[in-house]
Structure 1
Amino acid sequence: MAKPDILCIGSVLWDVIGRSAAAMRLGSDVPGRITRLPGGVALNIAMTLRRFGVVPALLSSVGRDTEGEELIARCAQLGLVTDHIYRSADLPTDVYMAVEGANGLIAAIADAHSLEAAGDKVLRPLSDGRLGDAEIPYAGMIALDGNLTESLLSQIADSPLFAVADLRVAPASPGKAERLLPLLTHPRATLYVNLEEAGILAKDSFATAADAAAGLLARGAARVLVTDGGNPCAEGTSGAGVITAQPPQVMVTRITGAGDTFMAAHIVASRKSIPRQDALDRAINAAADYVSGEIGS
């Protein structure tokens, strides 16, 4: 079993994405392409980390159905550590479905019910000695996503199993952003959110990513990164203020997975102790390359 450089905890599922070159609205029926790819926030982050030479281990729930066996095999082919994934014979493999047009994401549905039903079973490797336990908790970097339930995220926020880890946290979507509230003021957590998600967490509205970063710091966050599409993104660190970066202008060919790519690229830069501004620039450029199609799925 390969020793992981980072743990990615959250959704590991199939992405079913319909993309069209046409602008779409409610009720549109247009030609396009439909693809099925390994996905989920935790898996997207892990796949990007692996492309950058980092070895991630996945902690999630994947069924023992045909879809699950295929997904585990694909993850192994990609060089991801799957030994710690909770495998249930009773829970089906989760799936995410999205429709994207020339004017962006039209709609998406995340069926992550199996991950939610598995609950703290996905965390067993952190308590049974495989990756750590209460006496010697895991001391490395952990990427968490908001597909975990709010109760489980609350448990993580107070758990001694996570007391010394470097936590990197992202919501799965604006609809699940509130689940991260228990981790907002965690002293070892870095939050990766978009402008809408930042507003939900702060229970406020912000005009810019820089405003949002400052607002979250004011509410007790230790470190935050806020993106806003093609507008400037921001990174805020408690006691060190807020910095910004302007994304390069690119032709957008896909949206799903862009935030995960941004987060993964920033994590890689952080592991190399790259200065704050350079790390932010690298992350936003990696996300731009992804949405333009220059980085493979």
Structure 2
Amino acid sequence: MKTQADILCIGSVLWDVIGRTAIHMQVGADVPGRITRLPGGVAMNIAMTLRRFGLTPALLTSIGRDPEGDELVADAIRRGMVTDTIYRSEDLPTDVYMAIEGGNGLIAAIADAHSLEAAGAKILAPLSDGMLGTAEAPWRGCVALDGNLTVELLQTIASSPLFAAADLRVAPASPGKAERLLALLGHPSATLYVNREEAGLICHTQFETAPAAAAALIAKGAARVLVTDGGKPTSVATADRIITQTPASVLVTRITGAGDTFMAAHIAAELGGADAEDALSQALAAAAAYVSGETPI
């Protein structure tokens, strides 16, 4: 297995427990369906997609030294990820995410990422102890960063010399954590990946379209943004231009992880040399294949 990382994935690596049914659900519904338990979390979802594109990600996260954590790390190793960079806590349990998805979309979800938040800056140790870099010789590659980190840690990352040379790619873990990205909004090398709702929360308003949301985030100080909107047009924007494309229409069979798949596919396309138009097209195609169930997990 390759041990040299092509990209760092910093954030949540946990177990996803997902209940899915094709039936439209309301509050209090009790319906038949399927329940799965799979490796998940923003950092892990991105890493799994990057592996499908032939890249080797290193995971910087907190995983407990419990049976669930041992199983999760073993799975990451089997998938070809670098795991020596993981902070293994003796007293913090492995995090977990639970969601219910119906035929009418995501019904409810609970993210128990308390261990990641409690570990704090300990997960960044490989960037300063020489394993991946130091303050004098920082990591110069791509970093996929998720919003499950605390505001304090995101603020530290925004001003840290450890990330001064990095190509930062940032996504919120959920709409409820979108405002955490304000800490990185003005970072000169950060690309924000958000959906239309998350863009509205960051800007404290509502947007009708992804292009409008993207333009507002650029005006607010973002260097570059990608704004998705489900099956509606998606936009990538810089101060110079906005590119908008419409995803292919597909039958949606799963939702959790779609945004992470889009982000990872876009990163992989750009690292592979694709221009802005092609990278967006490839990312939308990968996300469509994922939500339709065409892509294996």
- Which TM-score bucket, shorter chain as reference? over 0.9
Task: State the shift of 1:242 in Å.
Answer: 0.6
1:163 and 2:164 are equivalent in the alignment: yes
Is the Cα–Cα contact under 8 Å of residues 234 and 242 in structure 1 kept in the other structure?
yes
Aligned-partner SS, 1:293: coil
Deviations 1:58-112 (A, max 9, x none): 0000000000000000110111111100001100000000000011000000000
Q: Which residues of structure 2 form unaligned runs of 5+?
A: none
Aligned to 1:54: 55
Task: State the shift of 1:273 in Å.
Answer: 2.4
Aligned to 1:274: 274
Aligned to 1:7: 8
The aligned runs of 1:79-90 (5 Å cut-off) are 79-90=80-91
Task: State the shift of 1:237 in Å.
Answer: 1.3
Distance in 2 (alpha carbons) for counterparts of 1:111 and 1:40: 10
Distance in 2 (alpha carbons) for counterparts of 1:23 and 1:205: 26
Aligned to 1:30: 31
Q: Partner letter of residue 279 of structure 2? A: A
Aligned to 2:246: 246
Distance in 1 (alpha carbons) for counterparts of 2:141 and 2:275: 20
Aligned-partner SS, 2:75: helix
Q: Partner letter of residue 236 of structure 1? A: A
Is the Cα–Cα contact under 8 Å of residues 146 and 171 in structure 1 kept in the other structure?
yes
Task: State the shift of 1:201 in Å.
Answer: 1.1
Aligned-partner SS, 1:79: coil
Task: State the shift of 1:227 in Å.
Answer: 0.3
Aligned to 2:92: 91
Aligned to 2:264: 264
Aligned-partner SS, 1:105: strand
Is the Cα–Cα contact under 8 Å of residues 15 and 40 in structure 1 kept in the other structure?
yes
Identical residues among aligned pairs (%): 69
Aligned-partner SS, 1:278: helix
Distance in 1 (alpha carbons) for counterparts of 2:188 and 2:204: 20
Aligned to 1:104: 105
Is the Cα–Cα contact under 8 Å of residues 23 and 101 in structure 1 kept in the other structure?
yes
Aligned to 2:147: 146
Aligned-partner SS, 1:270: helix
Distance in 2 (alpha carbons) for counterparts of 1:168 and 1:51: 18
Q: Partner letter of residue 48 of structure 2? A: M
Aligned to 2:185: 184
Q: Partner letter of residue 168 of structure 1? A: R
Distance in 2 (alpha carbons) for counterparts of 1:272 and 1:291: 23
Aligned to 1:229: 230
Distance in 1 (alpha carbons) for counterparts of 2:213 and 2:54: 32
Aligned-partner SS, 1:144: strand
Aligned to 1:285: 285
1:294 and 2:297 are equivalent in the alignment: no
Aligned-partner SS, 2:200: helix
Task: State the shift of 1:21 in Å.
Answer: 1.0
Is the Cα–Cα contact under 8 Å of residues 214 and 241 in structure 1 kept in the other structure?
no
Aligned to 2:195: 194
Aligned-partner SS, 2:116: helix
Aligned-partner SS, 2:15: strand
Deviations 1:155-180 (A, max 9, x none): 00000000010000000000011111
Q: Which residues of structure 1 form unaligned runs of 5+?
A: none
Task: State the shift of 1:275 in Å.
Answer: 1.3
Aligned to 1:215: 216
Aligned-partner SS, 2:169: strand
Distance in 2 (alpha carbons) for counterparts of 1:218 and 1:204: 14
Root-mean-square deviation (CA), in Å? 0.7
Aligned-partner SS, 1:23: coil
Q: Which runs of 4+ in 1 moved over 3 A?
A: none
Distance in 2 (alpha carbons) for counterparts of 1:94 and 1:236: 34
Distance in 1 (alpha carbons) for counterparts of 2:192 and 2:60: 19
Aligned-partner SS, 1:253: coil
Task: State the shift of 1:203 in Å.
Answer: 1.6
